């Protein structure tokens, strides 16, 4: 018997764990006053899967949490567990997609992929993940930044007929062609596990 909490997926602020651990200590103390002896503390997940600029790293989270545990839970009989799923999964998978159609609009280029919001990019909807610029491959070879040419505004869509199926509207990419491949990195967490075959389109 004990306390379990979750600070939220992809937490980037050290203060979130601090506040949760302080509240957990309050619950432990109240349980003790009521005659219960809690022996389990589950600090949940929410850890970052990779180092991102401006965000606390996994190592920083771990160091801060360990200091707090020593301060708030010095009793070594309390078992502490965590659920760092994203930390293990995020960098374990990359996603290769294909540009299936190209169009132009007044706001820039429109690229349609064979995977989208209802497939592997459901992380954009459910997990508020920001899609990072992919590696571009043409005719089986990676295109370097020098070869790519001028970057321009674009919208990247998934393959379904739903206008909501937008992977990103904030990315700048060079001019792409149908058949180009886009390799998205760090796509192991909260992606294929929740993907669907909406409109009959399987994930890439």
Q: Span 179-183, mean pLDDT?
A: 98
pTM: 0.83
pLDDT recorded at residue 109? 95
Of the ranges 87-91, 98-102, 124-128, which one carries the lowest mean pLDDT score?
124-128
Split into its structural domains, the chain has a count of 2
Residue 79 and residue 118 in one domain: no
Residue 8 and residue 97 in one domain: no
Pick the last residue of a domain from 45, 64, 87.
Answer: 87
The bridge status of strand 172-173 relative to strand 141-142 is unpaired
Residue 158 and residue 184 in one domain: yes
- Nearest of 126, 130, 128, 110 to residue 178 by alpha carbon: 110
Pick the last residue of a domain from 58, 87, 116.
Answer: 87
Write out pLDDT tens, residues 33-81. Answer: 999 999 999 999 888 888 777 678 888 899 999 999 999 999 889 999 9
The boundaries of the domain holding residue 109 are: 93-200
CATH number of the domain to which 157 belongs: 2.40.37.10
Q: How confident is the model at residue 126 (pLDDT cuts 50, 70, 90)?
A: confident
Residue 78 and residue 145 in one domain: no
> How far apart are the C-alpha atoms of 158 and 197, rounded to whole Å?
12
Pick the last residue of a domain from 20, 54, 87.
Answer: 87
Residue 83 and residue 101 in one domain: no
Write out pLDDT tens, residues 131-156. Answer: 999 999 999 999 987 788 889 999 99
Residue 77 and residue 133 in one domain: no
Residue 78 and residue 113 in one domain: no
Helix (H, G, I), strand (E, B) or coil at 44: coil
Residue 35 and residue 123 in one domain: no
pLDDT recorded at residue 104? 92
Q: Span 97-125, mean pLDDT?
A: 95
Residue 146 and residue 83 in one domain: no
Residue 98, C-beta contacts closer than 8 angstroms, at least 6 positions apart: 113, 114, 179, 180, 181, 182, 204
Q: How confident is the model at residue 103 (pLDDT cuts 50, 70, 90)?
A: very high
- Cite the active site residues: 161
> How far apart are the C-alpha atoms of 157 and 34, rounded to whole Å?
56
Mean of pLDDT over the chain: 91
Residue 101 and residue 192 in one domain: yes
CATH number of the domain to which 71 belongs: 3.20.20.10
Q: Span 167-182, mean pLDDT?
A: 95
pLDDT recorded at residue 80? 97
């Amino acid at each position: 018997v004990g306390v379990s909490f979750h600070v939220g997926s992809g937490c980037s602020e050290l203060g979130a764990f601090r506040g949760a651990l302080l509240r957990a200590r309050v619950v432990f103390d109240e349980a003790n006053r009521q005659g219960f002896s809690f022996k389990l503390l589950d600090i949940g997940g929410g850890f970052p899967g990779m180092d991102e600029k401006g965000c606390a790293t996994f190592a920083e989270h771990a160091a801060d949490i360990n200091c707090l545990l020593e301060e708030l839970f010095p009793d070594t009989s309390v078992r502490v567990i965590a659920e760092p799923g994203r930390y293990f999964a995020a960098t374990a998978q990359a996603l290769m997609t294909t540009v299936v159609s190209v169009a132009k609009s007044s706001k820039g280029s429109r690229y349609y992929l064979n995977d989208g919001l209802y497939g592997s990019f459901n992380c954009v909807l459910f997990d508020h993940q920001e899609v990072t610029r992919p590696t571009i491959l043409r005719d089986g070879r990676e295109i370097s930044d020098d070869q790519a040419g001028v970057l321009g505004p674009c919208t990247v869509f998934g393959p379904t007929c739903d206008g909501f199926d937008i992977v990103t509207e904030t990315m700048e990419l060079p001019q792409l062609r149908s058949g180009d491949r886009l390799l998205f990195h760090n796509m192991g967490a909260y992606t294929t596990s929740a993907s669907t075959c909406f409109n009959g389109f399987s994930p890439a």
